[in-house]
Structures are given as C-alpha cells and as structure tokens.
Amino acid sequence: MSVIVWIVEGTWPACVDAARARAAPGEEIALLYVRDDALAETAHGAFAGLLGRGRPERDPGTSLERLAAASGRDLLRAAADRLGRPCTCVERGGRVEREVVAAARDAGLLVCARDGDPARLGPRSLGPATRFVVDHAPCPVLLVWPGEAPRTPLPPPPPHPGHRP
Amino acid sequence: MPCRGRKTHLSTTTVVTETVSVVLLLGVLAFAVVRPRGLPEATAAVPAAALAVAVGAVSAADAWQQTRTLLPVVVFLALILMLAQLCADEGLFEAAGAAVARWCGGSPRRLLTGVFAVAAAITAVLSLDATVVLLTPVVFATAARVGARARPQVYATAHLANSASLLLPVSNLTNLLAFAASGLSFTRFAALMALPWLAAVAVEYAVFRRFFRADLAVAPVPGPAAGRDPGVPVFTLVVVALTLGGFVVTSFAGLAPAWAALAGVLVLGGRALAQRRTGPRALVTAAAPLFCLFVLALGIVVKAVVDNGLDTGLGRLLPAGTSLPALLGVAAVAALLANVINNLPAVLALLPLVQPGGAGPVLAVLIGVNLGPNLTYVGSLATLLWRRVLHAHDTRAELGSFTRLGLVTVPATLLASTLALWGMLHLVGT
C-alpha cells in the first residue's frame, strides 16, 4: 500500500508537505501528475477548423503536447525535491480525474488539495475534477488546504429558511 | 406546348447543374477536411472549379469575375500571414507572453485578463491564424511559467481566435470577404465593428471568469521553468503599429489598405532577409500560396452552388432589412451554416445573398460566421465528424467542457454583438 500524491499546478506544495508529514517512514510515496490531453486536442481542433491551412508542421497541438510533457516532468522534479525522500514519479495523460481515480486503485491513501476559493471556508470548495476524484476515489482521501485556512468564526451561521443543501 | 416544354427542360438543366455543383462543393470540403495522404486542399478545389466551368454550372466569364473579386482579398490575406510570421520570428509573441506573466503578479485571474488582452489584440491585428498557430503554444508556456493551470488560458485563446476576430477587415479571411462585399472603408468597418467586438470579448470574459472559477481561485506556484525574460522586439512592434496606422491613412486616402500591409512586410521581411534570419523560401511559405489558390477555387465552386438555386433556397431563410430581429435572424442562420460546413464556404455562400441589403446584413453574416464556430472545438460539424472517425477508439481527451462553454458563449455573444451592431448602424450609419 502506498501514498499517492496528486500533483496539480498551484496546490502541489501543500500536498507534498502533507504526504511528508503523514507517511510512515519507509512507506512508499508516489507523486502523480496527469496531463490534461484536452488542451493539446483543443489546439489540434482549432487548427483543423482553419479550413485550407493544412500544413501539419504548423499544428500548434503538437507543440502543446511537447510543452505539456516537459511542464509535467518539471513539476514532478520540483515536487520530488520538495519531498526530500525516496519516491516514485508517475506521469500519465488523458482525462485528468479519471486517470487519478484509476491510479489510486491500490493506494493506501490519496493526498489531494482543496481548490475552491482560498479566502473562505466552503461551500463549493472543490473544482469539478477534484470533486470527481473525491467522489470516486477507491481509497481513503486526505484533502488539504493549499495554504493556511482562513480564520472565520465557526461554526458557520445557520442556513436561511428555504435553503436546500 | 413548346413554351412549357422549354421551361421544363430549363429547370431540369438547373437541377442537374445545381446537383453537380453541390456534389463538387461537398467533395472539395470533404477533401479539405480529410486531406488524404496530406495533399494540399487545392488539389481537389482547382480541378473542381475547372469542372464547374466545364459543365456550365458557372460561366467562364462569371468564374473570372469571381476570381478578380477575390484576388485582392487573397493577396491582402497572404500579406497579413507573412506579417504575422515575421512578428513571430522576431519574438513578438514570446515577449507578449512574458509581459503578461510579469503583469499578472501571480494572480490567475489577472493572467486570464492578460491572455484575453493579448489574444484579442493579436487576433484583431494579425488575424486568427496568428492566434491559433503562433500564440497558443506561447499562452500554454506562459501559464506553465507562472505555475497556473493552463485550461482557462488555452480555452480562452481558442475562443478568442474566433470571437475577437470581428474588429478589423484583416482579423479573419471571412472579414476580408465581407469587407470587399460591404463597400465600406477600412475605418468605417472598424468603427461599426468596434462595439460588437468589445461586446463579444466582454461576454466571453464574464463567462470564462464564472465557468473556470475553481481553476482561477488557485494561487499559482511559479514553476522551475521560469526562465529569463525575452527582450521586447521594439522595431517589430513599431512597424506593426505603423502598419496599423497605415491602414487608417490608406483608407482616408482612398487607397487599398493592402498597400500598408505590403509596406510592413517589405520593412520586416527586408530586414530579416538582410540579417539572414529568414530566406525567400520561408517568406513565400508564410504567404501560404496553396491556401490562397484553394480560396480562389473554392470561390468559383461556391458561386456555382449559389447561382444554380441555393440563392433562392437560402434567400427564403434570410430575413430582409436592418431591424434588430432581421439582423439577429441573419446572424443565427450564418452561425448555423458555419457550424455545418465551416465558416469559409458559409460566408462565400451568404454574402451574395445579403449584399443587396447593404452593409448591415453583411456584417450580421460576419458576426454569425465568426462567433458560431465556437460551438465545437473544431469550428464545424464536418470537421468534428471526421475527427470522431479518426479517434473512434480514443477516449483520452475530454472536450465536453469546451462544448458546454460554447453552448453558453455562442448564443450570448451572438446576441450581444448583433445588438451592438444594430446600435452602431443607427449611431454611425453606413
């Protein structure tokens, strides 16, 4: 059983720190980055939509594929440096949320970050991809704040009459 | 009765020539979408145009007239494509990306604002081809450099390539065609389309801020890829600004604005050639001669389709006049047609039908064909179907969110821009 850390732009340092703090010594840690293939496909599509300009060497989708792969590798390298202990780097591509759920199939713990408005406590604390991962993860999930949680009076005020959760 | 017999014979001939013309057009479009063995699109379009003339679907005189009408438009387009490539070679796009990265100061919302500003400006001045081909990779690299999520930024570039292409005649090939048909001057065109352009960009921005609020709420962590800033190519920037000014000056002087584009290309191209940073072959390639040939041939085939019956068919669908409901109707039909067959043949087919109604309906067609393609990520159903066939077993990419985004922005931008056009037509006049 291993700890899988989902590395996403913006929130990855908090996830790496949480994994370092929670993982037992000797426990296997895997850093997972999933490339969003929809971006390169969007660029391929925009180029295909320019009727008559078919010069494949100018297709921006190809550049994006190359840039996205390099960016993912850079991010994983930075995350591994921050973790400061032996780990495995896993890079995948596809539908991000589905790839994360698939990668977490045999994991003991999945670490990911809240990515809603960082200035207030809920609701809508998760973006669509993170929502999907939390809903479908086949293992325990550790959800961390990307930074320090805002200090607001707790518990939140009661909902107004007629509010439906 | 001989008279009735002759009539029947004539209509049968029309049906046959219209059928032949439609088959030729569908063949040309299918070839352009599929591009068998990577052959240029002109490979099918030029013989199809010749065949249309040979079978009498369009007379040789009409075909020549159509080519003479389109030729200046195509030359202007080639000059703009060369200008954009020369700007890219000089590092203008990387400099714009770096400026946006500095300006956003680590805020993903400001990054989106910056990407909107740069993509809208580059699309307007250097055409949507420049945004799609040259700016998209720079925008992705900028997001990576800032450490922000790239999805809102890349989708913004794809959307703005279409919706920010309303402003100037040079922003889109469809604009150049409409510009030629409208009889407007360069500056009058820009004055009428400034508000529709702003309206489209503003609606897109508002929708993007809400649609991507989760991605835009996450503070970026600068990536290790953050390298040194590329310098600003001042000379290039000045030449582009002067070219833009040249469009206005030539317009007031009653000259073709293509002369200003030619001057810009001569200065930047001459300098790059003298410094051996480009070669004549690269410059000619940048002008996309085979694409220009494709447009000229497509123009003849579309003329055959329009003249043999599509004009009466589509004419019935298009409302007449410049009232707001009429302009909205024209824009909606244009958006629909652009989504079915691609906006280039759509605008070629619609312009002759709306031209007698004056500049108002011509510009409404333009709003429809430029904004409509954002409904799908490839701009038309024809291209989408082919990509589906190609990737039938490939479920890697998820483009549903792009379609959902288009379902919101396309009707909203169509409405806002057409409303703005109607207002400008009353305010500025044609």
Q: Give the mean pLDDT of B170-181.
A: 90
Residue B428 pLDDT grade (very low, low, confident, very high; cuts 50, 70, 90): confident
Q: Give the mean pLDDT of A155-164.
A: 74
Please state, in angstroms and rounded to a whole number, the distance separating the CA atoms of residues B22 and B308: 10
Task: Determine what percent of chain A is predicted with pLDDT higher than 70.
Answer: 98
- Do A47 and B40 count as a contact with CB atoms less than 8 A apart? no
Please state, in angstroms and rounded to a whole number, the distance separating the CA atoms of residues B127 and B81: 8
Nearest-Cα residue of chain A relative to residue B293: A52
Per DSSP, the residues of B163-191 read HTTTSSGGG-HHHHHHHHHHT--HHHHHH
Q: Give the mean pLDDT of B391-406.
A: 73
Closest CA to B299 of B68, B117, B134: B68
Please state, in angstroms and rounded to a whole number, the distance separating the CA atoms of residues B50 and B32: 17
Q: How far is B400 from chain A (nearest CA, A)?
A: 9
Residue A8 pLDDT grade (very low, low, confident, very high; cuts 50, 70, 90): very high
Least confident interval from A148-152, B70-74, B125-129, B345-349: A148-152
* 3-state SS assignment for residue A6: strand
Q: What is the sign, positive or negative, of the torsion defined by CA atoms of A92, A96, A98, A100?
A: positive
Size of the A and B interface in Cβ pairs below 8 Å: 176
Confidence check: pLDDT of B200 > 60: yes
Confidence check: pLDDT of B70 > 50: yes
Structure tokens at A23: 């993982």
Least confident interval from A15-24, B3-12, B108-117, B185-194: B3-12
Which of A43, A46, A67 faces B144 most closely, judged by CB atoms? A67
Fold of A2-144: Rossmann fold (3.40.50)
From chain B, the residues in CB contact with A89 under 8 A are none
Domain spans, chain A: 2-144
CA atoms within 13 A on the CB side of B379: 26
pLDDT digits (tens, 9 = 90+) for B91-135: 999 999 999 999 998 899 999 999 999 999 999 999 999 999 999
From chain A, the residues in CB contact with B149 under 8 A are 8-10
